[in-house]
């Protein structure tokens, strides 16, 4: 059941429960931000962000597009999936990028027009050992 998705819109209401009768607790203002779906109820999804904050959103506000978020410190995108490969770019905390392809330990990502490889431990938005084709 748990799975990663991304926010479809630049403004997404997060509610205290699964329905419009529940109050809006906060509003995400970041299209493509990765979130984790932890529970489903009818057309509503309980999501969790990278900080562990949870709330309910309508399924229409979520996309199956896989993205990732740089957290904690600046990370280096590499030309190849190797720690010794030349740098392509540096991504600072808060940067969101697209996951293109992942194998164990490394993902091909697109960040701000740059494509390169990141270790899966260097970002939030993928499970340990998960593959994306």
Rounded mean pLDDT of 64-79? 97
- The yes or no reply on domain 68-122 and CATH 3.90.75.20 is no
Instruction: Give the span between the Cα atoms of 104 and 84, in whole angstroms.
Output: 17
pLDDT digits (tens, 9 = 90+) for 36-45: 999 999 999 9
Domains 3-65 and 68-122 share a fold: yes
Compute, in degrees rounded to 10, the torsion defined by CA atoms 72, 77, 80, 86: -110
Architecture of the domain made up of 3-65:
Roll (2.30)
Q: Which tokens is 89 given?
A: 């770019």
**What pLDDT is stored for residue 17 in this prediction?**
98
Mean pLDDT (the chain) is 96
Rounded mean pLDDT of 75-100? 97
* Domain residue limits, the chain: 3-65, 68-122
Radius of gyration of the chain (CA): 15
pTM listed for this prediction: 0.93
Instruction: Give the span between the Cα atoms of 87 and 51, in whole angstroms.
Output: 28
């Amino acid at each position: 059941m748990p799975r990663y998705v991304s926010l479809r819109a630049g403004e997404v209401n997060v509610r205290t429960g699964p329905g419009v009768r529940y109050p809006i607790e906060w509003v995400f203002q970041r299209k493509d931000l990765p979130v984790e779906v932890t529970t489903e109820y009818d057309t509503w999804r309980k999501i969790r962000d990278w900080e562990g904050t949870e709330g309910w959103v309508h399924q229409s506000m979520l996309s199956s597009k896989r993205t990732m978020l740089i957290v904690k410190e600046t990370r280096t995108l590499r030309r190849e999936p190797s720690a010794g490969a030349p740098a392509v770019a540096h991504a600072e905390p808060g940067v969101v990028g697209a996951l293109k392809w992942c194998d164990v330990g490394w993902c091909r990502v697109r960040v701000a027009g740059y494509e390169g490889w990141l270790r899966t431990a260097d970002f939030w938005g993928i499970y340990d050992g998960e593959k994306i084709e």
